[in-house]
A and B are shown apart, each in its own frame.
Chain A
Amino acid sequence: EAGVAQSPRYKIIEKRQSVAFWCNPISGHATLYWYQQILGQGPKLLIQFQNNGVVDDSQLPKDRFSAERLKGVDSTLKIQPAKLEDSAVYLCASSLTSGGALSYNEQFFGPGTRLTVL
C-alpha cells in the first residue's frame, strides 16, 4: 500500500515570496491533516480536513496561509507571503476517519516538506 506522498521535499525561498506544498493521502483516507514542525519543537496542527470540508483551522494563520482539498483527495497548502518564521517542516498526515474505533484514527505521515525562508 502506498504511503502519504508529499512534494516538494525541499524548498528555499526569499521572504515575501509565495510557496505551495502538495499532499496525496493514502487511498480511501477521509481525513487529512497539515502539521507545522519548527526545528526543536513537536509538530503543531495547522488544518484538518474531513473529505473536502474543514474540521479545524483554528491554528492556521489565515492572513498568509491557505489550504484546500477540493475533490476530497489530494490537498495543497499555500503560504503568501512567506516570513522568516515560516521556516519549518510541513507534514501531511491522513487517517481512515477521525471518529469511531481507535484503529481508524491512526494517522500516517508523509516525509514532509522542509521550507527555508531567507
Chain B
Amino acid sequence: GNSVTQMEGPVTLSEEAFLTINCTYTATGYPSLFWYVQYPGEGLQLLLKATKADDKGSNKGFEATYRKETTSFHLEKGSVQVSDSAVYFCALPLYNQGGKLIFGQGTELSVKP
C-alpha cells in the first residue's frame, strides 16, 4: 500500500546548524511528494514539492530532492534559525483517490539560539 515514513523526533539543533529530516515512501508509480510545515498554533502549510523523479523542491532555504532509486525525499537546510522551530510532515498525494494526502508521522524541530 501507500505509506510515508519519517525519522522520529524531536530534533533539537543550535542556530545555524545543518538540518536533515529523512523521509521515505512506498507507492505505486512515481507520485508527487510534498513537505508541509506546522508552526505552533497554526495550520499546515505547504513548504515545498516535487512532481517527478530527480526534481528538487526548494523554499525558504529548505530543499528536498525526489530520489526514486531510494524512494526518498529528505528535507535539508544549511543553516537553521529559531524561527524554523515547527513540526515538519512529509506527504504523498494520491491523485487516483481524490487527491487525499498520506502523511508521515511528523518530525518536531526545536532550534535553540
Q: Which of A48, A50, A107, A111 contacts B42 (CB 8 A)?
A: A111
Q: Is the CB of A91 within 8 A of B43?
A: yes
Give chain A residues whose Cβ lies under 8 Å from the Cβ of B89. Answer: 42-43
Count of chain A residues with a beta carbon within 8 Å of a chain B beta carbon: 28
How does the 8 Å CB contact mask read for A56-85 relative to B, with 1 for contact and 0 for none?
100000000000000000000000000000
Q: Is the CB of A44 within 8 A of B98?
A: no
How does the 8 Å CB contact mask read for B37-56 relative to A, with 1 for contact and 0 for none?
00001111110010100000
Instruction: Report the minimum CB–CB distance from A38 to chain B (whole Å).
Output: 10
**A20 to B44 CA separation, bound complex (whole angstroms):** 21
How does the 8 Å CB contact mask read for A83-118 relative to B, with 1 for contact and 0 for none?
000000001010100110010011101111000000
Instruction: Report the minimum CB–CB distance from A50 to chain B (whole Å).
Output: 7
Interface residues of B (CB under 8 A from A): 4, 32, 36, 41-46, 49, 51, 89, 91, 93, 95, 97-101, 103-106
